[in-house]
Amino acid sequence: MEEARQEHGNNGAAWEPRIVAFICNWCTYTGADLAGTSRMKYPPNVRVIKIPCTGRFDPLFMIKAFERGADGVLVSGCHPGDCHYAAGNYNARRKFTVFRKLLEFLGVDMERVWFSWISASEGGKWVDTITRFTETIREKGPFAEYREMIDVG
């Protein structure tokens, strides 16, 4: 585990949590933007991937993120009832329900997979969520066991 914390790609620097956040354009992304314009401080570990709506989210995104080095994945969008496309987040909610149970059944640590509804005005909630998530992952360490399951003979 300690070796993983000194992994390549960091130029020998100590490991920092890599958070990937799939966030919807209309609510959470705007909320994050608000946090920025308000000069609110939060850990820089998050990499944001903007999707038009959480309804666009596909579990493959999460798998790919873990394969490529994410230590934690957040998916966030508009509150139920506020979806810009009316029902995208309702469909997404069902996908989340099913997929997280599958991950849990496989033994993936559920604390590495977070879901949230963050609206365009909730810059503070964005900051709070990212901060708490980053701290959680920092304590857990890298998700090396997923990324490194590639040993071939």
Partner 1 sequence: MPCMTLDSTALAKVARDLSGQGRRLVLPVREGPELFYREGADPEALDLATIPKNSVKEFFFPKCDTILKYRYTGSEVEVEDVTPPVEPTVIFGARPCDAASLSVVEPLWNWDYKDKFFNLRRENTLIVTYACRRAPEEACFCVSVGVSPSSEDGADVLLLPLDEARVAVKFLTDAGREVQAVFEAYKTGEADDAALQAFAEEGTVSLSHRKKLDKVQGWLDKHFEDPLWEEKTFQCIGCGTCTFLCPTCHCFDIQDESVFDGGSRLKSWDGCQFSLFTLHTSGHNPRNVQPQRYRQRILHKYGIYPSKFGKILCTGCGRCVSHCPVNLSLYDVVATAQERAEKGE
Partner 2 sequence: MSDRTERIREIARKWLADGAVEAVVGWAEGTLGGRTAPVLIRKAEEADRLVWNEHCTNNLMTYLKRAPVQGMASVGIVAKGCDIKALVGLIQESQVPREKVKILAVTCPGVRGAGGTVPVKCRACDVQTPVFYDEIAGEKIDSEPDPEARGQELAKVDAMNPAERMAFWRKELDKCIRCYACRQACPLCICSRCIAEKNQPQWVETSPHPRGNFSWNLIRAYHLAGRCVECEACETACPVNIPRMLLNRAMARTVKEAFDYEAGRDPEVQPPLRTFQLGDDNSFIL
CB 113 to partner 2: min, Å = 9
Instruction: Show the binding pattern over residues 112-131: x = contacts partner 1 (CB under 8 A), - = does not.
Output: --------------------
CB 41 to partner 2: min, Å = 20
Question: Are 26 and 117 in contact, with CB atoms under 8 Å apart?
Answer: no
Comparison of 25 and 91: residue with beta carbon closer to partner 2: 91
Burial (CB < 10 A; 0-12, 13-18, 19+), residue 20, is buried
Q: Residue ranges of the alpha helices (H) in the chain?
A: 2-5, 28-37, 59-67, 88-106, 123-140, 144-147
Tell me the longest C-alpha to C-alpha distance in the chain. Answer: 52
How many residues make contact with partner 2 (CB under 8 A)? 39
Rounded to 10 degrees, the C-alpha dihedral 128/134/136/142 comes to: 170
Helix axes 28-37, 123-140, angle to 10 degrees: 100
Comparison of 9 and 107: residue with beta carbon closer to partner 1: 9
Question: Are 45 and 71 in contact, with CB atoms under 8 Å apart?
Answer: no
CB 51 to partner 1: min, Å = 22
Instruction: Show the binding pattern over residues 76-95: x = contacts partner 2 (CB under 8 A), - = does not.
Output: ----x------x--xx-xxx
- Residue 152 binds partner 2 (CB under 8 A): yes
Identify what 101 binds: partner 2, partner 1, none; CB under 5 to 8 Å per kind. partner 2
Residues from 64 through 83 that contact partner 1 (CB under 8 A)? 68-69
- Residue ranges in contact with partner 2 by CB under 8 A: 59-60, 63-64, 67, 80, 87, 90-91, 93-110, 114-117, 129, 145-147, 149-152
